[in-house]
Protein backbone atom coordinates (compact mmCIF):
# COMPACT_ATOMS: atom_id res chain seq x y z
CA UNK A 1 0.00 0.00 0.00
CA UNK A 2 1.42 3.37 -1.06
CA UNK A 3 -1.08 6.14 -0.27
CA UNK A 4 1.47 8.91 -0.95
CA UNK A 5 3.51 9.17 -4.16
CA UNK A 6 5.36 12.34 -3.28
CA UNK A 7 5.68 14.36 -0.09
CA UNK A 8 7.37 17.68 0.65
CA UNK A 9 6.95 20.48 3.15
CA UNK A 10 4.89 22.40 0.60
CA UNK A 11 2.53 19.79 -0.85
CA UNK A 12 1.65 16.11 -0.96
CA UNK A 13 0.67 14.01 -3.98
CA UNK A 14 -1.71 11.22 -2.99
CA UNK A 15 -1.92 8.03 -5.03
CA UNK A 16 -5.71 8.07 -4.82
CA UNK A 17 -5.91 11.48 -6.51
CA UNK A 18 -3.66 10.25 -9.33
CA UNK A 19 -5.96 7.30 -9.97
CA UNK A 20 -9.04 9.52 -9.74
CA UNK A 21 -7.47 11.73 -12.41
CA UNK A 22 -6.75 8.69 -14.58
CA UNK A 23 -10.31 7.46 -14.02
CA UNK A 24 -11.73 10.80 -15.20
CA UNK A 25 -9.49 10.80 -18.28
CA UNK A 26 -10.32 7.20 -19.19
CA UNK A 27 -14.03 7.71 -18.56
CA UNK A 28 -14.08 10.86 -20.68
CA UNK A 29 -12.19 9.20 -23.54
CA UNK A 30 -14.53 6.21 -23.44
CA UNK A 31 -17.58 8.49 -23.43
CA UNK A 32 -16.35 10.34 -26.52
CA UNK A 33 -15.55 7.13 -28.41
CA UNK A 34 -18.86 5.45 -27.55
CA UNK A 35 -20.82 8.64 -28.26
CA UNK A 36 -19.37 8.74 -31.78
CA UNK A 37 -20.30 5.08 -32.31
CA UNK A 38 -23.86 5.85 -31.18
CA UNK A 39 -24.16 9.03 -33.30
CA UNK A 40 -24.49 11.36 -30.33
CA UNK A 41 -23.44 15.02 -30.31
CA UNK A 42 -20.06 15.37 -28.61
CA UNK A 43 -20.59 19.11 -28.44
CA UNK A 44 -23.37 18.56 -25.90
CA UNK A 45 -20.86 17.04 -23.47
CA UNK A 46 -18.19 19.62 -24.27
CA UNK A 47 -20.55 22.49 -23.56
CA UNK A 48 -21.66 21.08 -20.20
CA UNK A 49 -18.60 19.14 -18.97
CA UNK A 50 -17.36 21.80 -16.54
CA UNK A 51 -20.81 22.25 -15.02
CA UNK A 52 -21.25 18.48 -14.63
CA UNK A 53 -17.85 18.10 -12.96
CA UNK A 54 -18.52 20.94 -10.53
CA UNK A 55 -22.02 19.74 -9.64
CA UNK A 56 -20.68 16.21 -9.11
CA UNK A 57 -17.96 17.49 -6.76
CA UNK A 58 -20.51 19.59 -4.89
CA UNK A 59 -22.87 16.64 -4.51
CA UNK A 60 -20.01 14.37 -3.43
CA UNK A 61 -18.92 16.88 -0.79
CA UNK A 62 -22.40 17.59 0.57
CA UNK A 63 -23.22 13.89 0.87
CA UNK A 64 -19.90 13.24 2.65
CA UNK A 65 -20.51 16.10 5.08
CA UNK A 66 -23.93 14.65 5.90
CA UNK A 67 -22.36 11.25 6.52
CA UNK A 68 -19.68 12.76 8.76
CA UNK A 69 -21.68 15.61 10.27
CA UNK A 70 -20.27 15.27 13.79
CA UNK A 71 -16.66 15.26 12.57
CA UNK A 72 -17.06 18.57 10.72
CA UNK A 73 -19.64 20.36 12.84
CA UNK A 74 -18.52 19.49 16.36
CA UNK A 75 -18.77 23.23 16.90
CA UNK A 76 -20.13 26.11 14.86
CA UNK A 77 -17.33 28.51 13.98
CA UNK A 78 -15.77 30.19 10.98
CA UNK A 79 -13.03 27.55 10.95
CA UNK A 80 -15.38 24.57 10.87
CA UNK A 81 -17.37 26.21 8.09
CA UNK A 82 -14.15 26.86 6.19
CA UNK A 83 -13.12 23.22 6.62
CA UNK A 84 -16.18 22.12 4.65
CA UNK A 85 -14.58 23.66 1.54
CA UNK A 86 -11.32 21.70 1.83
CA UNK A 87 -12.19 18.89 -0.59
CA UNK A 88 -8.52 17.87 -0.77
CA UNK A 89 -8.94 16.13 2.59
CA UNK A 90 -10.42 13.26 0.46
CA UNK A 91 -13.84 13.92 1.94
CA UNK A 92 -15.91 13.10 -1.13
CA UNK A 93 -18.72 10.58 -1.51
CA UNK A 94 -19.13 8.58 -4.71
CA UNK A 95 -22.84 8.12 -3.97
CA UNK A 96 -23.32 11.87 -3.69
CA UNK A 97 -21.46 12.43 -6.96
CA UNK A 98 -23.62 9.88 -8.79
CA UNK A 99 -26.89 11.32 -7.47
CA UNK A 100 -26.00 14.94 -8.28
CA UNK A 101 -24.58 14.06 -11.71
CA UNK A 102 -27.63 12.01 -12.69
CA UNK A 103 -30.10 14.71 -11.70
CA UNK A 104 -28.10 17.47 -13.40
CA UNK A 105 -27.54 15.42 -16.55
CA UNK A 106 -31.21 14.51 -16.82
CA UNK A 107 -32.19 18.19 -16.58
CA UNK A 108 -29.60 19.13 -19.21
CA UNK A 109 -30.86 16.42 -21.56
CA UNK A 110 -34.43 17.68 -21.22
CA UNK A 111 -33.35 21.28 -21.70
CA UNK A 112 -31.27 20.51 -24.82
CA UNK A 113 -33.64 17.93 -26.30
CA UNK A 114 -31.15 15.07 -25.92
CA UNK A 115 -32.27 11.49 -25.34
CA UNK A 116 -31.36 10.71 -21.73
CA UNK A 117 -31.50 6.91 -22.12
CA UNK A 118 -29.38 6.94 -25.25
CA UNK A 119 -26.72 8.96 -23.45
CA UNK A 120 -26.87 6.54 -20.51
CA UNK A 121 -25.91 3.74 -22.90
CA UNK A 122 -22.65 5.64 -23.38
CA UNK A 123 -22.09 7.00 -19.88
CA UNK A 124 -22.74 3.84 -17.84
CA UNK A 125 -20.02 1.70 -19.51
CA UNK A 126 -17.59 4.63 -19.25
CA UNK A 127 -18.48 5.10 -15.59
CA UNK A 128 -17.81 1.41 -14.91
CA UNK A 129 -14.39 1.74 -16.58
CA UNK A 130 -13.64 4.74 -14.37
CA UNK A 131 -14.72 2.73 -11.32
CA UNK A 132 -12.23 0.00 -12.24
CA UNK A 133 -9.38 2.51 -12.18
CA UNK A 134 -10.70 4.12 -9.01
CA UNK A 135 -10.71 0.68 -7.36
CA UNK A 136 -6.96 0.41 -7.90
CA UNK A 137 -6.51 3.82 -6.31
CA UNK A 138 -8.53 2.60 -3.34
CA UNK A 139 -6.21 -0.40 -3.03
CA UNK A 140 -3.14 1.82 -2.73
CA UNK A 141 -5.00 4.20 -0.43
CA UNK A 142 -6.21 1.38 1.81
CA UNK A 143 -9.90 2.28 1.81
CA UNK A 144 -12.91 0.18 0.78
CA UNK A 145 -11.08 -2.75 2.33
CA UNK A 146 -12.34 -6.25 3.09
CA UNK A 147 -12.82 -8.58 6.03
CA UNK A 148 -10.20 -10.95 7.34
CA UNK A 149 -9.67 -14.11 5.30
CA UNK A 150 -7.62 -17.28 5.26
CA UNK A 151 -7.60 -17.45 1.47
CA UNK A 152 -4.14 -17.50 -0.18
CA UNK A 153 -4.73 -14.15 -1.90
CA UNK A 154 -5.47 -12.30 1.32
CA UNK A 155 -3.42 -9.10 1.75
CA UNK A 156 -1.97 -7.28 4.74
CA UNK A 157 -2.31 -3.52 5.06
CA UNK A 158 -0.15 -1.50 7.43
CA UNK A 159 -2.36 1.49 8.06
CA UNK A 160 -3.97 3.03 11.15
CA UNK A 161 -7.12 3.46 9.08
CA UNK A 162 -7.60 -0.31 8.76
CA UNK A 163 -8.83 -2.17 11.83
CA UNK A 164 -7.41 -5.56 10.80
CA UNK A 165 -3.84 -6.71 11.36
CA UNK A 166 -4.34 -10.03 9.58
CA UNK A 167 -4.77 -10.86 5.87
CA UNK A 168 -8.01 -9.44 4.48
CA UNK A 169 -10.00 -9.75 1.27
CA UNK A 170 -8.58 -7.47 -1.47
CA UNK A 171 -12.06 -6.19 -2.27
CA UNK A 172 -10.58 -3.36 -4.32
CA UNK A 173 -9.02 -5.94 -6.67
CA UNK A 174 -12.34 -7.78 -6.84
CA UNK A 175 -13.99 -4.52 -7.90
CA UNK A 176 -11.31 -3.88 -10.51
CA UNK A 177 -11.72 -7.34 -12.05
CA UNK A 178 -15.52 -7.37 -12.30
CA UNK A 179 -15.64 -3.73 -13.48
CA UNK A 180 -13.21 -4.40 -16.34
CA UNK A 181 -15.13 -7.56 -17.26
CA UNK A 182 -18.48 -5.72 -17.34
CA UNK A 183 -17.06 -2.82 -19.36
CA UNK A 184 -15.52 -5.17 -21.92
CA UNK A 185 -18.79 -7.09 -22.26
CA UNK A 186 -20.86 -3.92 -22.67
CA UNK A 187 -18.59 -2.46 -25.36
CA UNK A 188 -18.62 -5.69 -27.36
CA UNK A 189 -22.35 -6.22 -26.87
CA UNK A 190 -23.07 -2.63 -27.89
CA UNK A 191 -21.50 -3.34 -31.29
CA UNK A 192 -23.23 -6.67 -31.85
CA UNK A 193 -26.71 -6.14 -30.37
CA UNK A 194 -29.45 -6.61 -32.97
CA UNK A 195 -32.21 -4.35 -31.73
CA UNK A 196 -33.68 -1.30 -33.43
CA UNK A 197 -32.15 1.96 -32.26
CA UNK A 198 -35.46 3.30 -30.95
CA UNK A 199 -35.97 0.14 -28.90
CA UNK A 200 -32.45 -0.30 -27.58
CA UNK A 201 -32.25 3.07 -25.84
CA UNK A 202 -31.35 2.42 -22.23
CA UNK A 203 -30.85 -1.30 -22.85
CA UNK A 204 -27.03 -1.31 -22.59
CA UNK A 205 -27.19 1.06 -19.62
CA UNK A 206 -29.67 -1.18 -17.80
CA UNK A 207 -27.54 -4.28 -18.32
CA UNK A 208 -24.53 -2.36 -17.07
CA UNK A 209 -26.31 -1.02 -13.99
CA UNK A 210 -27.84 -4.41 -13.19
CA UNK A 211 -24.59 -6.38 -13.52
CA UNK A 212 -22.46 -3.77 -11.71
CA UNK A 213 -24.99 -3.55 -8.86
CA UNK A 214 -25.15 -7.34 -8.62
CA UNK A 215 -21.39 -7.66 -8.16
CA UNK A 216 -21.40 -4.67 -5.82
CA UNK A 217 -24.05 -6.42 -3.73
CA UNK A 218 -21.85 -9.55 -3.55
CA UNK A 219 -18.74 -7.49 -2.79
CA UNK A 220 -20.37 -5.98 0.28
CA UNK A 221 -20.43 -9.42 1.93
CA UNK A 222 -16.62 -9.31 1.93
CA UNK A 223 -16.18 -5.68 2.96
CA UNK A 224 -14.81 -4.90 6.40
CA UNK A 225 -14.72 -1.11 6.44
CA UNK A 226 -17.23 0.83 8.50
CA UNK A 227 -20.44 2.20 7.04
CA UNK A 228 -24.00 2.93 8.08
CA UNK A 229 -26.00 -0.16 8.98
CA UNK A 230 -29.75 -0.61 8.65
CA UNK A 231 -31.00 -3.62 10.65
CA UNK A 232 -27.47 -5.01 10.44
CA UNK A 233 -27.26 -4.64 6.66
CA UNK A 234 -24.66 -2.37 5.07
CA UNK A 235 -26.23 0.72 3.51
CA UNK A 236 -24.33 0.36 0.17
CA UNK A 237 -25.66 -3.19 -0.05
CA UNK A 238 -29.22 -1.91 0.42
CA UNK A 239 -28.68 0.65 -2.35
CA UNK A 240 -27.27 -2.07 -4.59
CA UNK A 241 -30.25 -4.32 -3.87
CA UNK A 242 -32.73 -1.55 -4.70
CA UNK A 243 -30.84 -0.79 -7.92
CA UNK A 244 -30.90 -4.47 -8.90
CA UNK A 245 -34.67 -4.58 -8.36
CA UNK A 246 -35.41 -1.39 -10.32
CA UNK A 247 -33.06 -2.14 -13.22
CA UNK A 248 -34.26 -5.74 -13.31
CA UNK A 249 -37.90 -4.64 -13.67
CA UNK A 250 -36.92 -2.18 -16.41
CA UNK A 251 -34.95 -4.88 -18.27
CA UNK A 252 -37.83 -7.38 -18.05
CA UNK A 253 -40.23 -4.80 -19.47
CA UNK A 254 -37.81 -4.05 -22.29
CA UNK A 255 -37.24 -7.74 -23.01
CA UNK A 256 -40.99 -8.42 -22.98
CA UNK A 257 -41.51 -5.63 -25.52
CA UNK A 258 -38.92 -7.18 -27.83
CA UNK A 259 -40.60 -10.62 -27.62
CA UNK A 260 -44.07 -9.16 -28.22
CA UNK A 261 -42.88 -7.33 -31.35
CA UNK A 262 -41.28 -10.47 -32.75
Q: pLDDT value at position 190? A: 85
Q: How far is CA 92 from the centre of its chain?
A: 12
pLDDT in tens, 177-213: 999 999 999 999 888 876 666 667 888 999 999 999 9
Q: How far is CA 247 from each of CA 2, 125, 172, 204, 230, rounded to the nearest angstrom? A: 37, 15, 24, 11, 22
Q: What is the pLDDT of residue 15?
A: 87
Instruction: Tell me what pLDDT residue 89 has.
Output: 67
Q: For residue 67, what pLDDT is reported?
A: 72
Q: Considering only CA atoms, which of 132, 125, 35, 99 is closest in space to residue 243?
A: 99
Cβ pair 77, 43 in contact under 8 A: no
pTM for this prediction: 0.86
Q: DSSP letter string over 179-218? A: HHHHHHHHHHHHHH--S-HHHHTTHHHHHHHHHHHHHHHH
Residue positions counted in the chain = 262
Tell me the domain boundaries of the chain.
Answer: 4-40+114-261
Q: Which residues of the chain have pLDDT under 70?
A: 1, 69, 71-74, 77, 79-80, 83, 88-90, 194-199, 257-262
pLDDT at residue 79, as a whole number: 67
Asked if 64 and 92 count as a contact pair (C-beta separation under 8 A), the reply is yes
Alpha carbon distance 48, 251 (integer Å): 29
**3-state class (DSSP) for residue 234:** strand
Residue by residue, DSSP assigns 53-78 as HHHHHHHHHHHHHHHTHHHH-SS-SH
The confidence score (pLDDT) of residue 261 equals 56
Amino acid sequence: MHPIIFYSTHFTIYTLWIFIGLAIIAGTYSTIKLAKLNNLKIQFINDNSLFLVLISILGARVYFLIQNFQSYFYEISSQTLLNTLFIWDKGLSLTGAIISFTIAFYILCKKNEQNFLKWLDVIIPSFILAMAIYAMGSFFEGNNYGKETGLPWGVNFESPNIKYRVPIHPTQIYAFIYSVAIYTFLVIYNQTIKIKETERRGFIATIGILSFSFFKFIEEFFRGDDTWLFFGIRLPQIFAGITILVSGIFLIKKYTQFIDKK
